[in-house]
Amino acid sequence: LKIRIAFNGILGKMGRSISAGLAADPDFEICAGYDLSANSSILREGLKIGKVCVKLCGNMEELFTCKPDVVIDFSNGSAFIELVRSATRHNVSLIVGTTGISDEDLNYARQLVNESDIAAIVAPNFSIGAVLMMKFASLASDYFKGCEIIELHHDQKIDAPSGTAVQTAGAIKNSLKKEHRLKENEFEKYEGARGAMVNGIHVHSVRLPGLLAHQEVILGAQGQTLTIRHDTYDRSAYLPGVILAIRKLVDVKGLVCGLENLI
Ligand SMILES: NC(=O)c1ccc[n+]([C@@H]2O[C@H](COP(=O)([O-])OP(=O)(O)OC[C@H]3O[C@@H](n4cnc5c(N)ncnc54)[C@H](O)[C@@H]3O)[C@@H](O)[C@H]2O)c1
C-alpha cells in the first residue's frame, strides 16, 4: 500500500524536486498539491510529475481532504500556524521543511500538536550528510583544542552566516569556544579577516557562483588537524532525509524539531 502524500508549496524549487523524487518511488503517491502561486490553467489541468498528473487544490485546507497519510510543507513560514491548525483538525501528520519559523510559532505549534493525536517533524535541514557533519564535529570537539568553520554558498544567498554554520558552532563543545574574536595581541590588517564570531567559534562565509551549499569544520590540536566537509550539489540531496522523516513519523510523539533527533 502506497503512503499518500499531499504537498504544500508544490510549485516551488523544493516542492518540485521533492515531489518528483517521491513520485518516482513506488512506496509513495502524491495525492494532491497546493501552492499560493498556482494559476488557473494549472488548477484546471493539474501538475504533471513524471508519469502522473497531480490535482492542485484551490486552498490549503483542501489538501487535507484527499485523505493523505502525511502533508509535506516546503513553502513560507507565514502559513505555518494555519497549516498546523488544519493538520490537527483533519488528524493528518505533518513534515515541515520550511525555514524561518519563529520560536514563538514553533512553541505554539508544539502546544497544538500535543493537544491532538498527530505527529509533526519540523526540520530546517533535511540533508542527512549535513546533520551527520554537525554530530561528528560535536564528537570530535572533545578531543581537539580549536575549531573554525568555513561555509560556502551560491552568490544568491543574501544572509550570512548560514543557519547550518550557526547550528554547527552551537554544537561544538564549550572548551573550544573563544570569549573574544581576536586574541589580546592579534589584529586584523583588513577588517573581517578573522571571520565572524558565532557561538564562540570563528565562521568564514564564502559566496560564489557555481557553489550550492558546502561547509568545512576544521579542528586543530598539536601536530594535527581534522577537516569534516559536506557538499550539497543539488536539491535531491534533501530527499533521503524527507523519506527518513516519513518513515519515522509512526514513532514520533508530538512535535520533533531537527533531523538530528531522528538519526
Ligand atoms: N529543510 C530543508 O532541508 C530545506 C532545504 C531547502 C530549502 N528549505 C526551505 O524550504 C522553503 C521553500 O524553499 P524553495 O527553495 O522551494 O522556495 P521557493 O520560493 O522556490 O518555493 C516556495 C513555494 O511556496 C509557495 N508558497 C508561498 N507561500 C505559500 C503559502 N502560504 N501556501 C502555499 N504555498 C506557498 C510559493 O508560491 C512557492 O512556489 C524555504 O523556507 C526554504 O528555506 C528547506
Among 8, 19, 57, 74, which is best to mutate for testing ligand 1, by the most ligand atoms less than 8 A from CB?
Answer: 74
| pLDDT number for residue 158 | 86
Q: Which helix (H) or strand (E) holds 207?
A: strand 201-207
For β-strands 47-49 and 120-122, DSSP reports them as unpaired
CA–CA distances in Å: residue 24 to residues 47, 81, 133, 231: 15, 30, 28, 24
Catalytic residues: 153, 157
What angle separates helix 239-248 from helix 128-140, to the nearest 10 degrees?
A: 80
| pLDDT number for residue 97 | 94
Ligand 1: centre distance to CA 124 (Å): 11
**Looking at ligand 1, which residue's alpha carbon is closest to its atom 39?**
12
Question: Rounded to an integer, what distance in angstroms lies between the CA atom of residue 21 and that of residue 185?
Answer: 53
| pLDDT number for residue 99 | 87
Q: State which ligand 1 atom lies nearest to the alpha carbon of 238.
A: 3
| pLDDT number for residue 143 | 96
Ligand 1: centre distance to CA 51 (Å): 24
Question: Rounded to an integer, what distance in angstroms lies between the CA atom of residue 130 and that of residue 237?
Answer: 10
| pLDDT number for residue 191 | 96
Pocket of ligand 1 (CB under 6 A): 8-9, 11-15, 34-37, 60, 74-76, 78-79, 97-100, 123-127, 238
Question: Rounded to an integer, what distance in angstroms lies between the CA atom of residue 155 and that of residue 100?
Answer: 20
DSSP state for residue 56 in the 8-state scheme = B
Ligand 1: centre distance to CA 175 (Å): 37
Ligand 1: centre distance to CA 157 (Å): 14
How many residues does the structure list for the chain?
A: 263
Q: Which amino acid is at 185?
A: N
DSSP state for residue 167 in the 8-state scheme = H
Question: Rounded to an integer, what distance in angstroms lies between the CA atom of residue 10 and that of residue 17?
Answer: 9
**Looking at ligand 1, which residue's alpha carbon is closest to its atom 23?**
12
| pLDDT number for residue 33 | 97
| pLDDT number for residue 51 | 86
Q: State which ligand 1 atom lies nearest to the alpha carbon of 38.
A: 37
Write out the chain's pLDDT in tens, 263 residues: 899 999 999 999 999 999 999 999 999 999 999 999 999 999 999 999 988 999 999 999 999 999 999 999 999 999 999 999 999 999 999 999 998 888 899 999 999 999 999 999 999 899 999 999 999 999 999 999 999 999 999 999 888 999 899 999 999 999 999 999 999 999 999 999 999 999 999 999 999 999 999 999 999 999 999 999 999 999 999 999 999 999 999 999 999 999 999 99
